[in-house]
Homo-oligomer: A and B are copies of this chain.
Amino acid sequence: MTFEPISRQSVSDQVFGRLRDAIVSGRYAADEALPSERELSATFEVNRHAVREALRRLQQLGLVRVSQGGATRVLDWRATAGLDLAMALVGAEDVLPVATLGRDVLEMRACIGADAARLCAERAAPGARAAIAEAVDRYAAVVPDLARMAEADLALWRRIIEGSGNIAYLLAFNSLTAGAIAVGHMPAPRRTAELLDVGAHRRLSDQIAWGDAAGAQRTARALLALTATGEAAAHDRAATQGEAGAHDESAAP
């Protein structure tokens, strides 16, 4: 049992969190006006500057639209927010209106991972291919320890995506892993099937080294589908249960 560092949230962090949750959970309709900064600062009993800093962050996330003179209005986050919102949703404690977020993240990981493997086999620099082989070795070296394997696996995939030379994939990967939803920090037992398949990992690395784009894509797809489709199936099983959000997948046997 390890202790996690105590998070010291500043005032504006807390205001940010509350407003974010309120918006994402749908408490404000799209295009509805948020209370004025002065009003919010009175409500939260903080200074107006703290509120303003929080609003800036919400603006950066694509959740609100501010205009001098006019009111600050809530945006439809499904239409305007970027992938970083997934990163921010980690801290959201109340039930999200999106029960499928865990599945969705895994699907995206599978999709991007497979294409990155393809591109990597196709055009990665020799150094990048060597780095991938090394990463596989490090992964295989910790083989009994699931937690460390998960960590090494993540590092390996980062190498592969870096090798693909696609910045967009890399940034998306950051978004998905920083919001450690389901992929990293919360490894459902289902993920062990993928994690334990050392042979497939090694094959993938070899195919990339060899330049076999189609093979690497196929291997990566099969490997990632182990977790992604499992999650999708689990979601189908628990479909339309309302409370079964993306957060309590760990209860599975």
Bitwise interface map of A from 81 to 105 toward B, beta carbon under 8 Å scored 1, else 0: 1111111000000000010110011
Q: With the chains together, A56 CA to B168 CA distance in Å?
A: 23
Q: With the chains together, A176 CA to B38 CA distance in Å?
A: 35
Which residues of chain B are within 8 angstroms of A78 by Cβ–Cβ distance?
A: 162, 167, 170
**Residue A174 CB within 8 A of the other chain:** yes
Q: With the chains together, A165 CA to B167 CA distance in Å?
A: 25
Chain A residues 192-228 with CB under 8 Å of chain B are none
Mark A residues whose CB is within 8 Å of B: 8, 10, 12, 49, 52-53, 56-57, 59-62, 68, 78-87, 98, 100-101, 104-105, 107-108, 111-112, 115, 119, 162, 165-172, 174-176, 178
Q: With the chains together, A169 CA to B168 CA distance in Å?
A: 13
Q: With the chains together, A101 CA to B167 CA distance in Å?
A: 7
A-B contact pairs, 19 of them (CB 8 A): A12-B56, A56-B56, A62-B178, A78-B162, A78-B167, A80-B174, A82-B172, A82-B175, A83-B83, A84-B175, A86-B167, A98-B167, A100-B165, A101-B167, A104-B169, A107-B169, A108-B112, A108-B168, A111-B115
Which residues of chain B are within 8 angstroms of A53 by Cβ–Cβ distance?
A: 52-53, 56
Give chain B nearest CB distance to A183 CB in angstroms.
Answer: 11
Which residues of chain B are within 8 angstroms of A82 by Cβ–Cβ distance?
A: 82-84, 87, 171-172, 174-175, 178
Which B-chain residue is minimally distant from A79 (CB atoms)? B174
Which B-chain residue is minimally distant from A236 (CB atoms)? B123
Which residues of chain B are within 8 angstroms of A175 by Cβ–Cβ distance?
A: 82-84
Q: Which of A8, A12, A174 counts the most chain B CB atoms within 10 A?
A: A174
